[in-house]
Structure 1
Amino acid sequence: MLDQLIDKAARLLQQPSTQEFMTAKLHQWLRTEYRRLEKFLPTQWLSEQGAQVATRAIVSTIADINEDPHHPLRRSFDRYVAQMIRRIEHDEQTGEKLQQWQRALLDNETLHGYMGQVLTDVRGYMQADLAKPDSRLRHHLQTMLKEFGDTLAENKALNHTVNEAVINSAVYLGPQVSDFLTSHIRTTIENWDEREMAEQIELNIGKDLQKVRINGTIVGGLIGGILFFLERGIDVLVSLA
C-alpha cells in the first residue's frame, strides 16, 4: 500500500496541473502575507520558482523512499501501522471510538445518499463501458483473470492455498446456506394461496404437464385399442371353435 501511495504521489506532483496549483497557492500566500514585497519583487516568478523547487525536493524524497526498502520513513510507517493494529485489538477506548465512528457513518443520511449516487454512477459507467465492443473494463477483467490463472498454474503453493480456502469456505457455508434455502422455500410455499400455487405450477411445469397429458392420452388409446383387438380375436376364436 505504501509503495502504491508513493508512486501515485510522485506522478501527481509531476503533473503540470499540480505545479500550477502550487504556484497559485504560493502567489496567493505572498500577496496576502507580504503585500509590500509585491511592489518590489516579481512574486509571480518567485511563486513559480518556489513551486518547482518544492516539487523537485518532494519528488527526490519520494524517489529515495521508493528505492530504499529500509528507509527511515518506511520503518516509521510500519511502526505506526503496527501500533494502530495493537490499539484496535487491545485498547477498549480505541475500539469504542471506532464503533462510534461506525455508528455515525451508518446513521448519516447525507452519506447514504451520496454513496447511493456514487454506486448508481459507477453502475451506469460499467454498463455503458461493457456495452462497447472495445470495453476497457472487459479488457482489464480478462487480463486480470488470465494473469491470475497463469499464476495459479505456475505456483503450486498458491494453487493449494486457494483450493484449501475454497474447501474450508464451502464446509463452513454449506450447512448455513442449506438451512437458509430450505427455510426460505418452505416459508415462500406456505405463504402462497391456491390461485398463486396454481399459477406457479402452470408457469414452471405447465409444459411438462401438457406432455404428460398428451403421452397419457396416446398410451391409453394404444392400450385400449390392443385390448379391443384382443377381445375381438378371442371372440372370433371362440365362435370358430
Structure 2
Amino acid sequence: MERIDRTDPGEPGARQRESAGERTAGEARSVPGGRAAPLASFAYTAADEEKRRGVRRMKTTATGLLLLVALVYVLATWAKSAGVGGWPGFVAAAAEAGMVGALADWFAVTALFKRPLGLPIPHTAIIPTKKDQLGASLGSFVGENFLSGDVVRGRIHALGVGRRVGAWLAEPEHADRVTAELSTALRGAMRVLRDSDVQAVVGEAITRRADAAEIGPGLGKMLERIVSDGGHRKVVDLICVRAHDWLVLHGDSVMDAVQGGAPGWTPRFVDKRVGERVYKELLRFVTEMRDMPGHPARASIDTFLTDFAADLQTDSDTRARVERLKSEILGRGEVQDVIASAWASVRTMIIAAAEDEQSELRLRARSSLMALGARLATDDRLQAKLDGWLEDAAVYVVTTYRAEITSLISDTVASWDADQTSKKIEAHIGRDLQFIRINGTVVGALAGLLIYTVSWALGA
C-alpha cells in the first residue's frame, strides 16, 4: 500500500498526513518489551483503505453539516443585528447549540484515534496510547465471562453433544467416513513409528514381564489339566507314529549305530546280529506303543507327566530349574530376534487391514461405530455420561489454562503496532462514529432551540 498524503476534509483545520516512516502492510517492526512483531493478518490492507475512504466521505458529510449550521448562525445573527425581529433569535440559538454539539462530538470521536488538532490534551488518542491496557482488559473480560467453568459446562450441556454425535455416527456414510479417517491415521502412525524403537520396547516389555512372573506353577497347572483330560495322548500317538515310520525308513542307520558302538574284539557277525536284534526289539516296542492304547509305557508316561506337573507346582528345586531355563532361553539372541521381529509382522498386518476397505478390521470398526452411534442416540444414560466427560474435560482445560488463553489475547493486542491498530479500527467503525457527530449537531440544535424557546416564553 502506498503512503497516503492528503488532507482529511473531516477535521476542521487539521491536515492529516501519514508519517514518512510509517510501515507498509507487509513490513514488520519490533515491539518494546520483547513482544513479537505485528501479525501479518492484522496489517493494514487495501480492503481497509477502501473502508477508510467511506469513513472520509462520512467525515465530509458531518463537517459539511457543521459548516452549514455555522453559516446559518452567521446569517441569523446578521439578520438579528439588522433589526429583523422574531425568528432570527430562534434560528441563531439553534445554530449556535448545533455548532457546540458538533464540535464536542468531533472532539470525542477524534480523541479515540488521535490527538485533536495535534494538541497534547490529556486522555486523547485513547486507542494508540491505551492499546495494551485495552488488550489486557479484553483478555480479563473474556476469561471472567467466557472461560468460567459454569459458562463452559452450561454451554456444552445445552449442546447435547452425546445425542448429536450418536445420531451422526448412526448414519452409514458417516461411519464410513470416520472409519476411513481412523484408518488413515492408523496407517500414518504405523509408518511414522521407527521399527527399531518399537521392537526394542516390545522386546524389553516381554522380557521384563517374563522375568517378573514365575512360570513353573502355571505350567504345572496347565500340564495337570492336559493330563487329566487326556489331551497329551494325541501327542504321544503322533510321536509313536513318527518314531515307527522313522525306524522303518532308517533301519540301516540304527543297526550301523549299534554295530559302531560294539567293542573292537567282538566278531563282526556278532555285532551285526546284535544290531539286528536291537533294531527289531526297538521297532516292536514302538509298534506296540503305537497300536496298544493300554501299553505299560503309555501308563508310565502318564505317571511321569502327572508327577512332573505336581513338582512344577510344589517342588522348589524343580521350579528353580524351570526359572533358570526360562532365563537362559530369554537371554538367547535368537529368542530376542523372534520377539523383535513379531512387531514387523504385526505392523504389516495392521497396515494391510487398514488399507483394505473390506478387511475384517475396518468392517468391525465400522459396525462398532454405527452400533455406538445408535446407542448414543437413544440411551439417555450413555449420553449423560459422555456429556459429563466432555464437560469435565472442557472445564479442566479452561480453568487450568485460562491464564494462557487470555494472555494470547492480551499479548496479541500488545504486539500490534499502535498506529496501524488505530487506523484499522477507525476504518471498520469510523463511519458509524461519524453519525455521532451528525446526531450531535442535530440534537444540539434542537436542545438550543428548546432552551431559547423556554427562556423566551418565560420572558428571560
TM bracket, shorter-chain basis: 0.3 to 0.5
Which has the larger share of helix?
1
TM-score if structure 2 supplies the norm length?
A: 0.24
